Structure 1
Amino acid sequence: MLFNSADFAIFLPITFFFYWYVTHKNVAIQNVFLVVASYLFYGWWDPRFLTLIIFSSFVDYSIGLNLSKSGNPKVRKALLFTSLLVNLGLLGFFKYYNFFVDSFVDAFSFFGREIGAQSLNIILPVGISFYTFQTLSYTIDVYKGKLKPTNNLIAFFAFVSFFPQLVAGPIERATNLLPQFFNKRTFSYTNAVDGMRQILWGLFKKVVIADNCAKFVNIIFENYPEQSGSTLILGAFFFAFQIYGDFSGYSDIAIGVSRLFGFSLMQNFAFPYFSRDIAEFWRRWHISLSSWFRDYLYIPIGGSKGGKLNKVRNVFIIFIVSGFWHGANWTFIIWGFLNALYFIPIMLLNKNRINTDSVAEGKLFPSLKELFQMLFTFLLTLLAWIFFRAPSVTDAIRYIENIFSDSFFSIPSALNEWLLTIALIIFMVFVEWIQRSKKHALELEHNQLKKPLRWAFYLAVTFSLFWFGGAQQDFIYFQF
């Protein structure tokens, strides 16, 4: 079920009504209702997906209980290994089986030997990468003693399947989200209103920005050999805002919907295109995944400890694994490799933690130095995004080669058709720049705008969904 669909527009108010007016007297009943609603939401794509998420939930629930009963280090390690094997095994089979088979065949073909291997017609379950990492955080934290395992099966299943963030995050930690299912929830008008604002801005970024950019991105990337260099630059620019509007828009909607039901999720995006270096970008982009890899992979393999070679190795591991997490294609691995190359010089110079505050804090305009830093960081991410979007590494390289052709300084083709979308992007950037120190762009305080102006602004954003909304597109991160 898509957030930007008529189905969800019906599903949400009905679920909200039953949650607060029928099941509100008992937390256990509320949790049962959330599990049923979440399974309905998830099974809307394909009911067969439910089997997998129920199995994965039951495995980690059982392993958590057994970890609490055993003090034997060998047994505990075996239980943790079982969780890793089951979860990553399922993820690997559904997401990477064909990738490994095809790469194996290509490797032998490269050396002149043809071998027969059959790919399978495997349907990738929506959101499997997200809920797999969420359940793994539970098992690992229980193993490390950071979290006590729960014996409440329903609460655990609700934690894994919580519908607002189930299919595209944020990837919540069990230490944050799971305890919330044991607390009595009381409706907060203030939180609900602010949640609605965040939902509205998330829909704007998805429907108005991402979906409009998508149609131009598809045309340009699918026909890049015939496009001018300037048009290809514009195509990469549109994709940068398509993926940002699409993914951060989903996160805003997920967080806002969660607040309607009395839950608090972690911030997943913090205006990343205002970053002054690539390290800051990764502290602001897909925060839940970046921090997950930091805590459960980067630090355990040594992190920034040890010599320079160890630090460089660990950075490459974390970024390449991050790229591979995104999809079964060499383009994602190259994307991760490029980001590692961007990051390593900053790390070796010990400058990866110098930009931890908001840019131009307390000022309306950035300094020339900050402006240059933001533009340079954005251009680096723009180059990497080409590999992320291209269907193959060869296509990405040719796309970049064609940018630097004789038509580099020409006027982009069909520019008149794109001016409205560019203007909408500028509007979004302006609003987010003003609000860059807030949790989301519509977190307006009373002293910023008077009530009539605030409502006029909210109505304008709402009507823009209908006036300027592009053709409905699936969320990009559903494929991951």
Structure 2
Amino acid sequence: MSFTSSEFLIVVFLSMVFTFLIKPLKVRQLLLLSLSYFFYAAMDSLFVWLLLLITVVFYLLGKWIEENPEKPKKQIKLLGVGVILVIAILSIFKLQYLFSLNGGAWLLPVGVSFYSFQAISYLVDIYKNRIKAEKEMISFALYLSFYPQILSGPIERAQNLLSQLKKLQKPSPQLFIEGGRRIVFGYFCKLIIANKVFDIVSPIMDSYERQNTTTLLFSCFLYYMYIFFDFSGYTNIAIGVANTMGIRLSENFNKPFLAISLKDFWHRWHITLSTWFRDYLFIPLGGSKSKYKYVIVIFVFMVSGLWHGPTYNFILWGVYHGLLYVVEQLVKKYIPFTKYLDKAIVFRQIVTTSIISLGWICFYFPDYSTIINVYKHMIIIPLDFNFSTIYQLLSRHNILLFILLLFSIFIDTHRIKYFSYPYNKLHSKHNLINLMILDIQIISIFLLGDIGQREFVYFQF
């Protein structure tokens, strides 16, 4: 079952029926839990047992940690059991891909990188006395398996998601309509923008030896667009579906194209993963107060790369971002003239976007040698800037797609106004504009959408 399949829409419809027509809370929770496990089994029936195992083990560990407040050593041991279990599971399933055991990546359980991180944050928060251990097994099981976000996040903390799942309140009309807008925009981003941009980028990347510098640089930017609209498209669908059930999930993106520095970018990109690494790895290792803080930063970025996959391209991606993040901080600290760039917002946005775009090469090519060759082809070989190729690219692949791309960027940078505009102001100028935007998206999906052609990129992690 895919997010872009008719079966998924049936699951969404059933969850809304349960939300609005079933009154007893326990029955609603049980039905939603059953629906979540049905959805997961349809995606990956082979590893339902693993989700059940982690659910039961972490439910018990959470209770035992809370029951031993006067035995900190025992609490640490219990916490260690949970952390080691997750590390072992992720290592076993991800390393088998690296060593080509049993045929490869198909053995990676769907969503395990996401729901296992939720499980760890739950235990740590109990240990730190931030939350109480959940007493209801159904509520906790639903927290780890909640179907809109189990596959690729957002990675939720118990303080946010579990507390809402314990109540399962019906959505307000405003939240329900906001969810509908997000679902449509999510499908628009995936089916219209991401899939079609990838169709442009893929042939260029695959024949990088024959491309000039301008074309490769532009394709790097387009691949950045693909990653963003694919992942944010999924996230908008997940958040929107949850909204229709009265649940507010965490935002995972905050206009990353407007980032003016790498530090700013990581406050805007995959926010729930970035904050997870900050709170559960960077700070416990010493954080910004440590004299080894720059080493810790690079280490955390390397771990982030390994989280995506234990292959050289993802490790290189982590090192790339870690080193550049540290260099940026050192330049800002020790080179005085950089303060004069503070007001050069557009220039800083262009530089940041360019650095991020170049880094995505590590996501496209799986092997280290090819990645280095691509960088060499762009930088070391005498630069071949030919801007006519961009014009040819635009005309060859239909200018309409690039207009829709700019349209999507505009909506994303104004999404709060668009998604949250009061539904009851039907005849206001702004709401009429919103309805027109919604119509454009729906018509585009039905006329141009590549339905079922390509799965979401972050499902592989």
Give the TM-score normalised by the residue count of structure 1.
0.87
Structure 1 residues 224 and 440, CA, compared in 2 at 3 Å: closer, same or farther?
Answer: farther
Question: Which one of 429, 443, 448 corresponds to residue 449 of structure 1?
Answer: 429
Q: How many equivalent residue pairs?
A: 442
Question: Which one of 42, 45, 50 corresponds to residue 44 of structure 1?
Answer: 42
1:343-397 deviation line (CA, Å, top 9, x unaligned): 113434667xxxxxxxxxxxxxxx9811111111000001111112212121112
Partner of 1:356: none
Structure 1 residues 317 and 441, CA, compared in 2 at 3 Å: closer, same or farther?
Answer: farther
Find the aligned partners of 1:473 and 1:373 in 2 and give their Cα distance. 34
Instruction: Read off the aligned partner of 2:67 and give its amino acid letter.
Output: K
Partner of 1:81: 80
Partner of 1:373: 348
Structure 1 residues 350 and 402, CA, compared in 2 at 3 Å: closer, same or farther?
Answer: closer
Partner of 1:92: 91
The unaligned stretches of length 5 or more in structure 1 are 103-117, 352-366
Find the aligned partners of 2:267 and 2:301 in 1 and give their Cα distance. 13
Find the aligned partners of 1:408 and 1:393 in 2 and give their Cα distance. 26
Structure 1 residues 468 and 369, CA, compared in 2 at 3 Å: closer, same or farther?
Answer: farther
Assess if the C-alpha contact under 8 Å between 2:194 and 2:229 holds in 1. Answer: yes
Find the aligned partners of 2:326 and 2:383 in 1 and give their Cα distance. 33
1:262 CA drift (Å): 1.0
- Which aligned pairs between 1:47-446 and structure 2 lie closer than 5 A? 47-70=45-68, 71-99=70-98, 101=99, 121=104, 123-307=107-291, 310-348=292-330, 369-404=344-379, 405=382, 407-409=384-386, 411-412=388-389, 414-418=393-397, 419-433=399-413, 435=414, 438-439=415-416, 442-444=419-421
Instruction: Read off the aligned partner of 2:395 and give its amino acid letter.
Output: N
Assess if the C-alpha contact under 8 Å between 1:129 and 1:325 holds in 2. Answer: yes
Assess if the C-alpha contact under 8 Å between 1:201 and 1:442 holds in 2. Answer: no
Assess if the C-alpha contact under 8 Å between 1:270 and 1:284 holds in 2. Answer: yes
Assess if the C-alpha contact under 8 Å between 2:305 and 2:316 holds in 1. Answer: yes
Instruction: Read off the aligned partner of 2:385 and give its amino acid letter.
Output: F
Find the aligned partners of 2:315 and 2:418 in 1 and give their Cα distance. 32
1:73 CA drift (Å): 2.0
Partner of 1:107: none
Structure 1 residues 320 and 12, CA, compared in 2 at 3 Å: closer, same or farther?
Answer: same
Find the aligned partners of 1:401 and 1:348 in 2 and give their Cα distance. 26
1:160-191 deviation line (CA, Å, top 9, x unaligned): 00001110000001121111122251331110
Question: Which one of 408, 427, 439 corresponds to residue 459 of structure 1?
Answer: 439
Find the aligned partners of 2:343 and 2:195 in 1 and give their Cα distance. 33
Find the aligned partners of 1:119 and 1:254 in 2 and give their Cα distance. 32
Partner of 1:468: 448
Partner of 1:106: none
Instruction: Read off the aligned partner of 1:19 and give its amino acid letter.
Output: T
Structure 1 residues 440 and 135, CA, compared in 2 at 3 Å: closer, same or farther?
Answer: farther
Assess if the C-alpha contact under 8 Å between 1:197 and 1:443 holds in 2. Answer: no
Assess if the C-alpha contact under 8 Å between 1:95 and 1:328 holds in 2. Answer: yes
> SS state of the match for residue 45, structure 1?
helix
Find the aligned partners of 2:417 and 2:287 in 1 and give their Cα distance. 31
Partner of 1:15: 15
Percent identity, please: 33
> SS state of the match for residue 38, structure 1?
helix
1:195 CA drift (Å): 0.9
Instruction: Read off the aligned partner of 2:345 and give its amino acid letter.
Output: E
Find the aligned partners of 2:428 and 2:303 in 1 and give their Cα distance. 43
Assess if the C-alpha contact under 8 Å between 1:246 and 1:475 holds in 2. Answer: yes
User: Which is helix-richer, 1 or 2?
Assistant: 2
Structure 1 residues 454 and 243, CA, compared in 2 at 3 Å: closer, same or farther?
Answer: same
Assess if the C-alpha contact under 8 Å between 1:198 and 1:443 holds in 2. Answer: no
Give the TM-score normalised by the residue count of structure 2.
0.90
Structure 1 residues 3 and 119, CA, compared in 2 at 3 Å: closer, same or farther?
Answer: closer
Structure 1 residues 298 and 9, CA, compared in 2 at 3 Å: closer, same or farther?
Answer: same
1:32 aligns with 2:14: no
Find the aligned partners of 1:177 and 1:18 in 2 and give their Cα distance. 18
Assess if the C-alpha contact under 8 Å between 1:270 and 1:439 holds in 2. Answer: no
Moved more, 226-235 or 145-154: 226-235
1:202-251 deviation line (CA, Å, top 9, x unaligned): 11111111111121222222222233333322321221000000111111
Assess if the C-alpha contact under 8 Å between 2:19 and 2:170 holds in 1. Answer: no
> SS state of the match for residue 165, structure 1?
coil
Partner of 2:336: none
Find the aligned partners of 2:272 and 2:60 in 1 and give their Cα distance. 25
Structure 1 residues 173 and 303, CA, compared in 2 at 3 Å: closer, same or farther?
Answer: same
> SS state of the match for residue 388, structure 2?
coil
Find the aligned partners of 2:420 and 2:429 in 1 and give their Cα distance. 11
Find the aligned partners of 1:58 and 1:440 in 2 and give their Cα distance. 41
Assess if the C-alpha contact under 8 Å between 1:88 and 1:132 holds in 2. Answer: no
Structure 1 residues 85 and 450, CA, compared in 2 at 3 Å: closer, same or farther?
Answer: closer
Assess if the C-alpha contact under 8 Å between 1:35 and 1:157 holds in 2. Answer: yes
Structure 1 residues 424 and 312, CA, compared in 2 at 3 Å: closer, same or farther?
Answer: same
Instruction: Read off the aligned partner of 2:325 and give its amino acid letter.
Output: F
Assess if the C-alpha contact under 8 Å between 2:15 and 2:245 holds in 1. Answer: no
1:120 CA drift (Å): 5.8
Structure 1 residues 441 and 127, CA, compared in 2 at 3 Å: closer, same or farther?
Answer: farther
Partner of 1:108: none
Assess if the C-alpha contact under 8 Å between 2:40 and 2:147 holds in 1. Answer: yes
Find the aligned partners of 2:428 and 2:119 in 1 and give their Cα distance. 41
Partner of 1:478: 459
Find the aligned partners of 1:469 and 1:10 in 2 and give their Cα distance. 19
> SS state of the match for residue 175, structure 1?
coil
> SS state of the match for residue 220, structure 2?
helix
Find the aligned partners of 2:428 and 2:196 in 1 and give their Cα distance. 30
Kindly report the root-mean-square deviation, in angstroms, between the aligned alpha carbons of the 2 structures.
2.2
